[in-house]
Amino acid sequence: MHRSILLQAAVFANIFLLAASIAHADPKTPTYADDVMPILKQHCNNCHGNDKQSAGLNLASMATLKEGGSSGEVVKAGHPDKSRLFTLTAHKEKPEMPPKAAKIPDGQIEILRLWIEQGLRENSGSKVNIPEKPKVDIGVKNVGKGKPEGPPPMPMAGKLKGDPLQRTRRPGAALAMAAAPWSPLVAVGGTKQILLFHTDSGDLLGALPFEHGQIQSLHFSRNGKFLLAAGGRGGASGKAVLFNIETCEKVTEVGIETDSILAADVSPDQTQIAVGSPSKLIRIYNTTDGSVAREIKKHTDWVTAVEFSPDGVLLATGDRSGGLFAWEASTGREFHALRGHTGMITDISWRGDANAMATSSEDGTVKLWEMENGTATKSWAAHVGGATSVKFSYDGKLVSTGRDKLVKVWDGNGGLLKQFAEAFPDLGLKVAFTHDNAKVIAGDWAGNLKAWSLDGKVLFATDTNPAPLAERIKAMEAALAAAESKQKQAQAAFAAAEENAKKSQAGYAAAQANVAKLSANIVAANKTAAEKAKAAEVAAAAIAPSKAELEQKKVVHTTAVTMEKKIAADAVRLTELVSKSAAATKELEKTVADHEAAKKSIEAAEASIRTAEANFNSATKAASETTMASAEAQKFAASLPPMLPPAQAAVMPAQLAAEAAAKAVEPVKVALDAANSEVAELKKRLEAMRAKK
Q: What is the pLDDT of residues 193-243, one digit of tens each?
A: 999 999 999 999 999 999 899 999 999 999 999 999 999 999 888 999 999
Q: Which residues of 448-460 are buried (b: 16+ CB within 10 A; e: fewer)?
A: bbbbbebeeeebb
More reliable by pLDDT, 50 or 570: 50
Q: What is the pLDDT of residue 458?
A: 95
**In the sheet where 292-297 sits, what is the strand order?**
263-266, 272-276, 281-286, 292-297
The contacts found for 466-471 with CB under 8 angstroms, 24 or more apart, are 466/164, 466/195, 466/204, 467/167, 468/163, 468/164, 468/167, 469/161, 469/162, 469/163, 469/689, 469/692, 469/693, 470/693
User: Where are the CATH 1.10.287.620 domain residues in the chain?
Assistant: 476-662
Rounded Cα gap, residues 249 and 84, in angstroms: 25
Average pLDDT over every residue of 244-271: 94
Backbone Cα Rg of the chain = 56
Q: What are the distances in angstroms from CA 654 to CA 316, 499, 517, 543?
A: 70, 15, 17, 54
**CA-closest candidate to residue 408, choices 469, 468, 456:** 456
User: Where are the CATH 2.130.10.10 domain residues in the chain?
Assistant: 162-270
Q: What is the pLDDT of residue 113?
A: 85
**Is residue 526 classed exposed, middle or buried when 0-12, 13-18 and 19+ CB atoms within 10 A define those classes?**
middle
Average pLDDT over every residue of 414-437: 96
Q: In the 8-state DSSP scheme, what is residue 490?
A: H
Spatial contact of 340 and 359, defined as CB atoms under 8 Å apart:
no
CA 645, distance to chain mean position in Å, is 54
Other Cβ atoms less than 10 A from the Cβ of 379: the count is: 17
136-183 residue pLDDT tens: 778 776 776 778 888 999 999 889 888 899 888 999 999 999 999 999
Other Cβ atoms less than 10 A from the Cβ of 372: the count is: 8
Spatial contact of 231 and 216, defined as CB atoms under 8 Å apart:
yes
Rounded Cα gap, residues 254 and 261, in angstroms: 11
Spatial contact of 458 and 451, defined as CB atoms under 8 Å apart:
yes
Q: What's the CATH superfamily of 162-270?
A: YVTN repeat-like/Quinoprotein amine dehydrogenase (2.130.10.10)
Spatial contact of 85 and 57, defined as CB atoms under 8 Å apart:
no
Identify the three-state secondary structure at position 476: helix
How confident is the prediction for the chain on average, in pLDDT? 87
Local confidence band at 94 (pLDDT 50, 70, 90 cut-offs) = confident
Identify the three-state secondary structure at position 399: strand
Identify the three-state secondary structure at position 573: helix
Identify the three-state secondary structure at position 625: helix
For 293, residues 6+ apart whose C-beta sits below 8 A from its C-beta are 272, 284, 285, 286
Q: What is the pLDDT of residue 49?
A: 85
Architecture of domain 476-662: Orthogonal Bundle (1.10)
Identify the three-state secondary structure at position 397: coil
